Amino acid sequence: MNERLPRLLIVDDESSILDSLRILLKNSGFEVSTAQGGRVGIKAIQTSKPDIVLTDVRMPQVNGIDVLQAAKETDPETVVILMTAQASLQSAIRAVNEGAYHYIQKPFANDELVAICRRAAEYRALRSENVTLKREIRRRDQSRWARPLGSASCFTAVVQLAEQVAPTESTVLILGESGTGKEVIARYIHSLSARADGPFLSINCGALPESLLESELFGHVKGSFTGAHRDKEGLVAAARGGTFFLDEIAEMTPATQVKLLRVLQEREALPVGSTEAVPVDVRILAATNRDLDHAMRDGSFRSDLYYRLNVITLVMPPLRDRREDIPVLAEGFLARTAQERSEPVKRLADDALTAVGSYDWPGNVRELENALEHAMTVTRGETISIDALPNRVTAPPRPHLVAAPRQPNPTLDTIERAYIEWVLNAEGGNKTRAAEVLGIDPSTLYRKLARYETDVP
């Protein structure tokens, strides 16, 4: 199939120039059309949408600068070349600064004009390829962060609210246990927003010490602390035009919370060691698995920051509350992982699917993905048997300690384990609420439960 010739429109008020240039450029490999005068040229641009516009600058009523502006309004990718006499040279140079591709000064040699037009055609082709590539990258990115899988009513309600709030600039607070997909829903909101072409940056506030977290978030100036050998831009500023996701925001110290509050209120960030704030253009999404009401009561989380963050709240349900979604999630993960590994798609045997659907998944979707990745790795064929799943998924549930026969002289550890399990049962398995009742941090509860997993026979 032959490639399409570049479409070139010539605009001039003299018919003799139009005729001679049309013949020259048509013989040089262009699909040429002409328009006599700027007003006719603008109409031709709007109807035919040429790749290249070659226009004289000095024309009565509607000049070449007007033609340039109309071309850019119709299609910003249109390449405009200006023909100018000495008297209008300064205006042509100014027009190049405003978006014209090039100008050529009269009188010009024919081969010089043809060379400029050919370079313009190559430039337009490269710009078109770049736009197509960006569109493909965005399409792939959106497919990776497509609508989260799940049809359980408690989950679809969250997704629908996310879709409703995504086009706005509202700050969103995402709550839920670890592994429920808080970052997934944050990326989904970003992909549906007006900022989708901008960056999506994230940070785990609990993974860094306070001094390093402040520097990463807000930047620092040279010499502000030992090791600050140069100025550094913070991630909040670097996410300009996009979205910034703060995971585990409850782990942020009160001093850092004050600086984040300034970002939300004043739309500016103060780098470490600086007295001059930096303007920011970013949408903030935040997430935590902690109970922020309890954190405010014990003074570890500022109430003014909470109310700034809590414009829209999404509560991600744990996987045990949406068991009907487990088969779909498992199938989707197996298919995606097979594609990434360039392997045939594997499926779960019936007994393996039953085991996966019966397990409580305390680590939620993240634990499900890890378990299936393990099973895929150890499975040679295309069917994943129950034996390929981790032992914790397939082992029969242990009897509840509080329901077991009374042990003579129980140890303190046994009593603690029994009490924790009793509270968990009373709170319907909700570890966040159970930790609050027990008066311990959720991370402490998770560590104890992990220890019991290995210690309890």
Whole-model pTM? 0.59
Peptide bond just before 107 cis, omega within 30 deg: yes
Does residue 368 register a pLDDT over 90?
yes
Residue 140: inside a domain: no
Nearest to residue 118, comparing CAs of 11, 25, 4? 25
Verify that 118 and 216 share a domain, yes or no: no
Give 284-300 pLDDT, tens digit per residue: 999 999 889 888 988 89
Least confident of 123-127, 224-228, 334-338, 427-431: 224-228
Verify that 162 and 223 share a domain, yes or no: yes
Q: What is the mean pLDDT of the chain?
A: 85
Give 374-397 pLDDT, tens digit per residue: 999 999 888 999 999 998 898 755
Please state, in angstroms and rounded to a whole number, the distance separating the CA atoms of residues 218 and 232: 9
Residue 180: inside a domain: yes
User: pLDDT-based confidence at 336, cuts 50/70/90?
Assistant: confident
Sign of CA dihedral 283, 289, 292, 293: positive
Sign of CA dihedral 139, 141, 142, 143: positive
CATH number of residue 344's parent domain: 1.10.8.60
CATH number of residue 422's parent domain: 1.10.10.60
Average pLDDT over residues 39-49: 93
Does residue 145 register a pLDDT over 80?
no
Please state, in angstroms and rounded to a whole number, the distance separating the CA atoms of residues 141 and 276: 36
What interhelical angle do 412-426 and 442-455 show, nearest 10?
120
Verify that 195 and 308 share a domain, yes or no: yes
CB atoms within 10 A of CB 205: 23
Do residues 327 and 347 lie in contact, with contact meaning Cβ atoms separated by under 8 Å? no
| pLDDT above 90 as % of the chain | 47
Verify that 124 and 18 share a domain, yes or no: yes
Residue 141: inside a domain: no
CATH number of residue 276's parent domain: 3.40.50.300
For the ranges 103-107, 275-279, 366-370, the one whose mean pLDDT is highest: 366-370
Verify that 218 and 287 share a domain, yes or no: yes
Residue 49: inside a domain: yes
- Find the domain containing 421 and state its range: 401-455
Verify that 180 and 289 share a domain, yes or no: yes
User: pLDDT-based confidence at 86, cuts 50/70/90?
Assistant: low
Pairing of strands 268-269, 278-279: antiparallel
CATH number of residue 37's parent domain: 3.40.50.2300
